[in-house]
Chain A
Amino acid sequence: RKLLKECCDPGQLFAMTKENSPVGKNLWYDGEFLYSFTIDNETFSLFPKATPFQLPLKKCSVVGNGGILKKSNCGRQIDQADFVMRCNLPPLTSEYSKDVGSKTQLVTANPSIIKKRFQNLLWSRKAFVDSVKVYNQSYIYMPAFSMKAGTEPSLRVYYTLADVGARQTVIFANPNFLRDIGKFWKSKGIHGKRLSTGLFLVSAALGMCEEVTIYGFWPFSMDLHGNFISHHYYDNVLPDSGFHAMPEEFLQLWFLHKSGVLRMQLEHCEDSIFHPAS
């Protein structure tokens, strides 16, 4: 399966770079029909030269935001990985760090969050700059070219962080990569409107890392022992139904876990028995 991932070449196409997206290239939004974006000089100047990670990465942790992480004690184990990926600007305050860790190398941010929580960065930007400080020196991965409405806010995130000289760097998701991954999983039987960020990240991680352990991916309202858990480890806000096909995605990940392509952590972590399977 790892070989199958090469269909999408995450190493090269994961993010928008000067190499894979020259000026004047037409990009089709992967989340919409009929719209495209032409890369102009101004946007081009925001891209990094090449994919900014040292490939291949060794041990990666992909951290979902599932409520199963709550009281899991996995923080330490997550932090032990070389590369930690997180989804959708999750909170990393001290009350959670025991369960989810504090290290971050890559965090995704949805334009919709920027819109909801930070008024699209049109007014005060300080709250946003302060809120991403917890991610230290990491990359903020934004699907800028998935939806038409997401482009402006995503670019604005870049401007904002560059303006204040923040330590975070914004990189933009490559819509072609996202589309290829989407097609790939569709052929495997996932029928949501759109893949979740988590699955994108796992797919990317599988293409870029030697060992992948995933945490917090558990889309059900009960844990393995039948205890009710919240939707996220930090809140219990349910998403709009019908957008993502979480259980189907989980099933696929479960297959991968079974076949040993990645390791899925569902139980509480105990430091002594940390034997990652690859």
Chain B
Amino acid sequence: MGYTDPTSSRDLLGNRALLFIFVCAFAVVTLVQQILYGRNYLRSRLQFSWQNGEEMANWTSSSLNFTDGGALRNGGDTGTRYFDFYEGPLEFNSSKCLELRKGITDVKVLSMVKQTELFERWKNLQMCKWEMNITQANIFKATLLRCCNAPAFLFTTQKNTPLGTKLKYEVDTSGIFHVNQETFRMFPQEMPYSRSQFKKCAVVGNGGILKNSRCGREIDSADFVFRCNLPPISEKYIADVGVKTDIVTVNPSIITERFHKLEKWRKPFFNVLQTYENASVLLPAFYNTRNTDVSIRVRYALDDFESQQSVYFFHPQYLINLSRYWLNQGVRAKRISTGLILVTAALELCEEVHLFGFWAFPMNPSGIYITHHYYDNVKPRPGFHAMPSEIFNFLHMHSKGILRVHTDACNCC
């Protein structure tokens, strides 16, 4: 016993030391993570809480070098001064607006500035009229043509996916879908839309920012309206989101969860689709193997009820190219969101693209908390989409005059 005691105590010490090392290692890893990713987020939160008080005062803050807190306070002063001679939207090309836009485009990475700062700059930009910058837009569209080419490859068609094609899935790299007669028959002969076919398009996201926006009429006035993921457009939302729908996407997971994969009742699903009248239904059928059967069943379900609505499937190669393109632009996520896909496609199919309901932050630009969707507040799985990063890209494109992001209430009625 006497001999074993010191050894055992040393052993114990060894264990303790090991434990200590583990704890230290964990702490270091966490700290590094915080420093790398969380710093700006944490800071912006703190910033937000103390700055809340003067939120109202500096809503027109025009300070452009938001590099530290001092400049912000400075901004408060200029804001009140600015308020005096503010008389309505400034011209797009006025020097003030150029400056404001530069404020947004100067932010190269989302984590470069605090979220509140970005909000401020965005809010300030709202007093400028938006105009399309044809050259910028054309440059961008030319890039898209080279990478993705929506007018030819957005959907699987009989032309781009002949009978017998071995279609590669987007994420299930080992999975291959053999295009058989049955499926081939469902494809449209050619892409139903051509390059810049529509003058003005609206892409409607489902963000809570749409709530009480009264943008319904403006959305409905577009020539072509895209909607994501079977959103409700019932009576009580019409004023905010409109009713016109030309393409609505459906996530197969919704069909699986809400409609039992269409293996049981089909009428409820059909009733929902009917609210969009003649809208085409767009599905990522070849995203992974699980999606295919469910998506194809949508066509059958519509056939059951003799519906004339078209059903289209995203071409997996288009989505792969698109993801790659946006990855280069800094959108790092497991998957790009349907919204981003639709916006990118719309940029090729339309001359002018307007975005509604795209705002993936917990508060609106004025700092007021909003719900996640305009119809509910169900948060998504974390880490699947990189929404803020996508929105950030849209803000950039807005500033460049490629598309227009609407985050304010519309002046209607």
Contact = CB atoms under 8 A, between A and B. Distances in A.
A152 B260 CA distance: 13
Interface stretch (B65-73, B139-147, B199-207, B300-308): B300-308
Nearest to B260: A159
Interface residues of B, number: 13
Given A122-B297, A123-B297, A159 B304 contact: no
B304 A163 contact: yes
B264 interface: yes
Interface string A128-161: 0100000000000000000000001001100110
A224 interface: no
B267 interface: yes
B263 A122 contact: yes
B266 interface: yes
B299 to A, nearest CB: 9
A162 B268 CA distance: 11
B20 interface: no
B300 A159 contact: no
Interface of B is mostly: helix
Contacts of B304: 124-126, 129, 160, 163-164
B265 interface: yes
A160 B304 CA distance: 9
Nearest to B305: A164
A129 B305 CA distance: 11
Number of contact residues on A: which range applies?
A: 10 to 19
A152 B293 CA distance: 17
A155 B260 CA distance: 13
A163 B303 CA distance: 13
A163 B267 contact: yes
Interface of A is mostly: helix
Nearest to B182: A123
Contact of A124 (B265, B270, B293, B300): B300
Contacts of B300: 123-125
Contact of B263 (A124, A129, A156): A156
Contacts of B270: 163
Interface centre among A159, A163, A164 (most CB of B within 10 A): A163
Contacts of A123: 296-297, 300
Contacts of A152: 263
Nearest to A163: B267
A94 B300 CA distance: 29
Given A124-B304, A126-B303, A126-B304, A163 B297 contact: no
Interface in B260-279: 263-267, 270
B303 A156 contact: no
A159 B147 CA distance: 45
Contacts of A156: 263-264
A128 to B, nearest CB: 10
Interface string B277-310: 0000000000000000100110010011100000
A10 B197 CA distance: 67
Nearest to B299: A124
B64 to A, nearest CB: 60
Contacts of B297: 122-123
Interface centre among B267, B270, B293, B296 (most CB of A within 10 A): B267
A159 B303 contact: no
A11 to B, nearest CB: 31
Interface in A96-142: 122-126, 129
Nearest to A128: B304
A158 to B, nearest CB: 9
A251 B293 CA distance: 48
6 contacts: A122-B293, A124-B303, A159-B264, A163-B267, A163-B305, A164-B305
Given A122-B263, A163-B305, 11 more contacts: A122-B293, A123-B297, A123-B300, A124-B300, A126-B303, A152-B263, A156-B263, A156-B264, A160-B304, A163-B267, A164-B305
- For the complex of A and B, the 10 pairs showing the least CB-CB separation, nearest first, are A163-B267, A124-B300, A125-B304, A159-B264, A159-B265, A123-B300, A163-B266, A126-B304, A124-B303, A126-B303
